[in-house]
Structure 1
Amino acid sequence: MSCEVPILIKDLSKCYQIYDRPHHRLLQMIHRGHRQYYHEFWALKNLSMNVERGETVGIIGRNGAGKSTLLKMICGTLNPTKGTIKTNGRIAAILELGTGFNPEFTGRENVYLKASILGLKNKEIDDRFGSIADFAEIGDFIDQPVRTYSSGMLVRLAFAVSVNVDPEILIVDEALSVGDERFQRKCFSRIESIRNSGATILFVSHSGSTVIQLCDRAILLEDGAKLAEGMPKKIYGYYQKLLYAPDDKKDFVKLSIVADEPLPAVIESDQKGTEVNTQAPDRQQQDAENFNPDLVPTSTIEYESCGAVIYNPQILTLSGKIVNNLVRSKRYIYNYAVDFTEDVQNVRFGMLIKTKTGVELGGATSACSLHEMVEFIPAGTKYSVQFNFRCALNEGTYFLNAGVIGEISGVETVLHRLLDLAMFKVQPEPKRLTTAIIDFDCKPDFSILKN
């Protein structure tokens, strides 16, 4: 591989001309710049960064921050308005689904097309075709037109080509969210292998755990500008603060990030209004249990009510304080209310905790046998349901389900069920030794072996 720096970017900017009406574009051409019929949108603003050989860099930011625009300019599919980009090495990119594929060509023909664009000769493609087809796992569809592929098949083939051309620079733009878990793990394993070979990787993802696990460094973009860069865990924490900050506090949060000062730990609503907690970092960790009114799921799915209605979900401390920012290893109460609209028999309640990707981590029901169920509940009765649980989870964002099952006229049915009814965050701990999602309370110990 070349010893030159793979990616050098200086004062990079990209401006789009936005026309309110189609005919304004024609008028702009006619008047030749003497009158402006468009307004400017700067997708990137004076961005400078270098990526060293063998480094894996995560690019994170809210939707519209400029992440994809940056990657496209590095790949050469977009030209900058101002600034310079220099790349050294073979670039393989997985950007949008089907990028670089001709929909009328078969998968086999597209493999040769894309690999040749990446600089491989026919003999090299012949030698690698078997590995590409095996990795993609699309079977006989390899000889069918790409227009007949599902989105999952498209990304499988695109990824298979990109990782089998010995890239010196690999660029991945959120493409790994498509495909089943088994294939995703296969992709991540190959990325790790490419990284270990000394290649440079640029990785865009909204998954904090992925960025923290894979990347050596992370860059936070906001409104087309670089807001911060540094250790992935720290930068992802900044991203979360920005993501969940109320609109009237976002400018304050941005200034805190740029200044690399302690950020607002929580935005609490009370009778006096909205205030920002600016406690010192150590104190924040001790008193990290708090409630953020903006931490509300947007993915809630409600089953049809058949005799009961679930409402008012809350997470409480053992002393009764409402929270949704939790501390690892402490106990909490998940509480929700149920209004029964019909007479029901043999009732039991349930809860479930899931990750952002939908992995079911664990939960409980209120009864495992008939004699433990609530035998009869008449219509008009209201219940308060509580599940006392230990927060055995590491730093991250999690979601809660709630459900009620019972019998109506002797037939067991789901009376009501809500998915992603509530969400909570487990706060980071600077000196945490545990890894991954679940805290198994592992106790490390080691000693010198004697001969």
Structure 2
Amino acid sequence: MSETVIKLDGISKSFHIYDKPIDRLLENFFSKSQRHRKFEALKNVSFEIKKGETVGLVGANGAGKSTLLQIICGTLTQTSGELGVSGRISALLELGSGFNPEFTGRENIYFFAAMQGMKKTEIERKINDILSFADIGEFVDQPVKTYSSGMYVRLAFAAAIHVEPDILVVDEALAVGDEAFQNKCYSRINALRDSGVTVLFVTHSPQTVMSLCDRAMLFDHGELLLDDNPKDVISCYQKLLYAPDEKKSLLRSLLLSEGASALKSDSKVQKQRAQGNDKRDKRDEASLNDNDEYFEEGLKSQPVVYESDGAEILNPHITTLDGDKVNVLIRGKEYKYNYNVKFSSSVTMVRFAMVIKMLNGTELGGYISSHDAYSGIDSISSGVEYTTSFKFKASLNPGVYALNAGVRGINQGDEDFLARVLDTYLFRVLPVKEQCETCYIDFNVEQSHSIN
């Protein structure tokens, strides 16, 4: 049986919130006068983590994830409950913690490693490996206060992984690194995991959780709602994150009482609803399980509309091939992206376009209705309205994506955009079990191997 390295039993953490700074002073002098409100950052959290496990913590901002990591690392003390940690912890918490800004990068490495219990001779054996991994060049001998956020996280992560930790804790800090460095970090996390190091980290990336983690935990308002396999946890997290406010309490109560199974279409809870007098419509039922596409009201975009040059894009949406409006899709199925175009000027050589992209703006793929600038629709009169549809296959790995829409043509000048809208529509691709595909696009790869 694997050794338990982290054990929490009924951990709670509350903070006192004061309306005015003077209230804190007055409360200290007059003990009978309570001038604070209590904010419960964590509520009765209990779990165990075994040696060698990689566990991802997910949840909206303010859910209590960072507070929990700080308690595990010892930088915060719990209000109540019991905590047991076995082994050396190396932590990369919020950006700016752990290093003295007045020290140089080299001095901070020695300071950090010494705080982890390493002797100077051990540090000197590893210093070159740390500097090589961080790859910040001559800046290592400059004060840390002069570093960019990317340089800081490079040095901090390099130091954290080279102190021979039993437990590695990472709290979102890698999000500020560039893509190449993130890949380098995740490769090293995989190597640490394979060597028996326990890894505990916070991330908002579904792909990272499902590719790296053995298990995941979902937190919301200080409570541990779900502790299960990464696929189910990510699915429930996204449903909760994008659910309308009036449905969130239902989802929370279902997760607390029944776990992830309560949100699956074949669960006992779902069957009881189907047999009872539940008044929810089919779209509500679909939003509680993983097997069907559906429309999630809370998944809303904030479009960026460019100035019109003779056309306006209206009513962008995705439908199934049967015409049902959806924004939660099943990987591998075909859908239609539709929008209307109302023309306010007479224009020529009109082409319709779309782009699918990541939330950070990286364009993954798109389509334009004609390959040549002068081979579109010959002419469209003012006042005419068109509907355009793009049938596409959802060849994307689980996550949330955005769509753009554009209309190009000629309006008394050069060929250009007549109308353009960024982030017209958001959609989510549901998680899949035992996913082998990595990154964002599913290229339908088939692997084989043989002995030479």
Q: State whether TM-score is above 0.5.
A: yes
Structure 2 portions without partners, runs of 5+: 271-278
CA contact (8 A) 1:434 1:442 kept: no
Deviates more, 1:365-374 or 1:273-282: 273-282
**Structure 1 unmatched ranges of 5 or more:** 267-271
Aligned AA (1:27): L
* CA distance, structure 2, for counterparts of residue 375 and residue 111 of structure 1: 67
Q: Which moved more, 1:392-401 or 1:155-164?
A: 392-401
| Bigger mean CA offset, 412-421 vs 59-68 | 412-421
Say whether residues 1:106 and 2:110 are aligned partners: no
Which residue of 49, 52, 73 corresponds with 1:51? 49
**Shift in alpha-carbon separation, 1:273–1:233, aligned structure 2, 3 A:** closer
Q: Distance in 2 between matches of 1:358 and 1:193?
A: 31
**Could you tell me whether the CA contact under 8 Å between 2:287 and 2:294 is conserved in 1?**
no
Match of 1:71 among 47, 69, 74: 69
For residues 52 and 428 of structure 1, the distance between their equivalents in structure 2, rounded to whole angstroms, comes to 25
Q: Is the 8 A contact 1:354 1:362 kept in 2?
A: yes
1:294 and 2:292 are equivalent in the alignment: no
Amino acid in the other structure paired with 1:425: R
Please tell me the root mean square deviation across aligned C-alpha atoms, in Å: 2.8
- Cα distance in 1 for partners of 2:26, 2:264 equals 49
Find the residue that maps to 1:177 and give its secondary structure.
helix
Asked whether the 8 Å contact 2:244–2:298 carries over to 1, the reply is yes
Determine if the alignment matches structure 1 residue 38 to structure 2 residue 36. yes
Tell me the CA shift for residue 241 of structure 1: 1.8
> 1:48, 1:141 → 2: CA distance?
43
TM-score after normalising by structure 1 = 0.88
| Partner residue in 1 for 2:338 | 335
Q: What's the counterpart of residue 372 of structure 1?
A: 375
Secondary structure of 1:194 counterpart:
helix
Q: Give the distance between the partners of 2:206 and 2:187, measured in 1 at CA.
A: 17
> In the TM superposition, what is the alpha-carbon distance from 1:290 to its structure 2 partner?
2.3
* Identical counterparts, % of pairs: 48
User: Structure 1 stretch 435-444 or stretch 215-224: which is displaced more?
Assistant: 435-444
Q: Which of 67, 81, 84 is the matching residue for 2:82? A: 84
Q: Which string of whole-angstrom CA distances, capped at 9 and with x for unpartnered residues, describes residues 359-384 of structure 1?
A: 43221111111442234445544332
Query: In the alignment, is residue 205 of structure 1 matched against residue 207 of structure 2?
Result: no
* Kept in 1: contact 2:283–2:295 (CA 8 A): no
- Residues 58-96 of structure 1 deviation map (CA, whole Å, 9 limit, x = unaligned): 111121110000001111111111112222211111111
Residue 9 in structure 1 maps to residue 11 in structure 2: no
Is 1:316 the counterpart of 2:319? The answer is yes
| Residues 124-174 of structure 1: CA deviation (Å, up to 9, x unaligned) | 222222222221122222222222221111111111111121111100111
Q: CA deviation at 1:353?
A: 1.2
Contact 1:264 1:277 in 2 (8 A): no
Residue in structure 1 matched with residue 263 of structure 2 by the alignment: 263
> Do the aligned residues in 2 keep the contact of 1:262 with 1:280 (CA within 8 Å)?
no
2:187 is aligned, of 184, 189, 200, to 189
Q: Secondary structure at the match of 1:98?
A: coil
SS state at 2:339 partner: strand
Relative to the length of structure 2, the TM-score reads 0.88
Asked if structure 2 preserves the Cα contact closer than 8 Å seen for 1:24 and 1:38, the reply is yes
Q: Structure 1 residues 4 and 439 mapped into 2: Cα distance closer, same or farther (>3 Å)? A: closer
Tell whether the 8 Å contact from 2:243 to 2:299 is kept in structure 1 after alignment.
no
Preserved CA contact (<8 Å) 2:244 2:297? no
Letter in 2 for 1:249: K
1:26-425 matches, within 5 Å, as: 26-32=25-31, 34-258=32-256, 259-260=258-259, 261-263=261-263, 277-278=284-285, 285=291, 288-298=292-302, 300-425=303-428
For the residue of structure 2 that corresponds to 1:333, the secondary structure is strand
Any idea what SS the aligned residue of 2:68 has?
helix
Q: Secondary structure at the match of 1:311?
A: strand
Paired letter, 1:291 = F
**Cα distance change on mapping 1:81 and 1:336 into 2, 3 Å:** same
Q: Compute the displacement of 1:176 (Å).
A: 1.7
Distance 2:287 2:64 in 1: 33
Match of 1:310, SS state, is: strand
